[in-house]
A = this chain, B = another copy of it.
Amino acid sequence: EIGIRDYQTSHRTIQLPGLVNIAAFVPGLVSRDSDDLQRITKASVAAGFSMIRVMPVGKDGSISDVKSLKIAQQNGKRGAYCDFNLSIAATSDNASQISHAAGEVGSMFIPFNHLSDNISKVAAVEAHFDAWPTHKPIITDAWTNDLASILLLASLHNRRIHVTAVILKDDIKLIAMAKEKGLKVTCDVSIYALYLSQKDYPSCQFLPTAEDQAALWEHMETIDVFSIGSLPYQLAHFLNQPADVTVGIADALPLLLTSVAEGKLTIDDIKAKLHDNPKEIFELHDQVGTSLEVEIDRPYVKEDTGSWSPMTGKVLKASIQRVTFQDQVVCLDGSILPVPPRGNDMSTHVAMPPVAAISSPAV
């Protein structure tokens, strides 16, 4: 229907399945009694993300052993507003420990640029490849030569690898070439990296240059997944803006849908890169009774909501009308309803079937 406010253009209401943010940055992840995870799940579900994969690297520490994993799990028990899973981060010397945590996390993240010693990087990561269960996903944020190294290991070990937060032209080209040649590599791009560049924020090294950004758009078919990642938080920090832990989450879908309104993306791109592909790559559970309704083609100026966003004051052409989670409406016309937290820790969902289920007689 065309309503009274529809003076500028006709608009469309579109149904989408519950979306997945495969890289949710939770600053206080391993800080005792942090409510960051709860706040982020709340902002996520309101923004259409009914499932988040929590990055194992926080602001003040990482999930890198059983002890830090326990803290994150404990924080998860405060109540989450959407489903989530946890991962473990590889460090230079935890290859022997990660297998102990493997059953309780969704994937291993290799923060390649953070391993300390340059000389033995390949060797350190090789040990992790051998220690990690073959069926579980491996994710890395490696750039340039580090990316090439880890792709080589993946190639030689015949392992799937997911590259997160690609921003460089050469890297997306390398991934495109690797895919073309049959390597089992997938990748995501942070949504902000598609809309903000060093042209907007000079010398901001974790943003793409204008040239990099153009290459990302040109390689849209190479990009398997859109993510939120830590880029919004990093940008706020870089600009000395008071960074809310939920920064960037609310902007994600309106930005992408605005590109749909402008003919630069399709609804199928959104579905593929925020639902179908994340579910397939990370073997995520299906979320029944979960969906959202969005409206596109109605332009508005993004207002200041009290928490900083680089998008404030910009014209967006899409908004989220309704979010249904587990058959309950949790968000209506942008307002979060007073519902209890009903999300679950799904970390063990993709774990191997328990040994008992294999070894004991089935009938």
Contact = CB atoms under 8 A, between A and B. Distances in A.
Interface in A123-151: 123, 126, 144-149, 151
Nearest to A130: B177
Interface string A88-121: 0000000000000000000000000000001111
Interface stretch (A51-59, A152-160, A246-254, A265-273): A152-160
A120 B174 CA distance: 11
A122 B170 contact: yes
User: Binding site of A, secondary structure by majority: helix, strand, loop or mixed?
Assistant: helix
Interface string A170-184: 100110011001010
A303 B144 CA distance: 50
Contacts of A118: 144-145
Contacts of A152: 148-149, 151-152, 155, 178
A213 to B, nearest CB: 16
Interface in A249-306: none
* Chain B CB within 10 Å, residue with most, of A118, A155, A183: A155
Interface of A: 118-123, 126, 144-149, 151-153, 155-158, 168, 170, 173-174, 177-178, 181, 183
Contact of A120 (B147, B156, B170, B181): B170
Contacts of A145: 118, 121-122, 145-146, 148-149
Given A145-B148, A148-B149, A170-B122, A177 B156 contact: yes
Contacts of A119: 144, 168, 170
A120 B147 CA distance: 12
B170 A148 contact: no
